[in-house]
Amino acid sequence: MSARSLELLLETAYAPEAPVALEGGAASVYQKFEQAFKASRLQKGNQASEELNYRFEILRLSVAIAFVKAFTRLADNENTKEVLDLLLQAIKAKNTREIDKIVQKKIALFDNLYHEIFVNAQREEILGLFERTLDAGSKEELDELIMEGLELLQDVDFDRTHDDDDDEPIDEDLLKSIQ
């Protein structure tokens, strides 16, 4: 996978807005993770391990931000915006302990993502990718999620109005029989 894939994922999730400003840019986030990964193989020790864990968390948060932003664009509800704000706050942390502290303080916000998922299949798919991102434990898993996300987000119609979320037309005969 490449740093460019992460950039594309974020650009697609945020379009037409500019993507979130990550420290050094999305490509830098991915490249710093790769550097930490290589360094941890060459040098053993707690410092190399801590840096690798931190860079992995920043990469994972970047992918999660892309999915939550895409979900927010489809759901257009305040609860999802609060989750996005929390992730954006966490990505500014300087170490993994700080990330955990920020997220744990408002962990209940994640429950709010599930209120509207079954109204729209694409929301459900995006939320599934987000969940898998949180569970990811390796570079390979994140790379796969980035590619799946890119593929999915290419097919999402973000311009569709939120009132038109029903996938099936209303059965007029059913409505008449209810009245």
Taking the C-alpha atoms of residue 71 and residue 117, their distance in angstroms, rounded to an integer, is: 9
* Residues 92-100, mean pLDDT to the nearest whole number: 96
Taking the C-alpha atoms of residue 34 and residue 121, their distance in angstroms, rounded to an integer, is: 34
For residues 80 and 114, is the Cβ–Cβ distance under 8 A? Answer: no
Report pLDDT for 123. Answer: 85
pLDDT digits (tens, 9 = 90+) for 132-141: 999 999 999 9
Higher pLDDT, 163 or 127: 127
Report the share of the chain in percent with pLDDT over 90: 55
For residues 34 and 110, is the Cβ–Cβ distance under 8 A? Answer: no
Torsion of the alpha carbons at 93, 78, 11 and 158, rounded to the nearest 10: 160
Asked whether the predicted pLDDT for residue 179 surpasses 60, the reply is no
- The dihedral through the CA atoms of 28, 87, 144, 75 has a sign that is negative
For the whole model, what pTM was predicted? 0.82
> Could you count the other beta carbons within 10 Å of the beta carbon of residue 137?
9
* Residues 146-156, mean pLDDT to the nearest whole number: 94
pLDDT digits (tens, 9 = 90+) for 116-131: 555 678 888 998 999 9
Report pLDDT for 97. Answer: 96
Report pLDDT for 148. Answer: 96
Mean pLDDT over all residues of the chain?
A: 85
Whose structure tokens read 């973000």?
A: 158
Asked whether the predicted pLDDT for residue 98 surpasses 50, the reply is yes
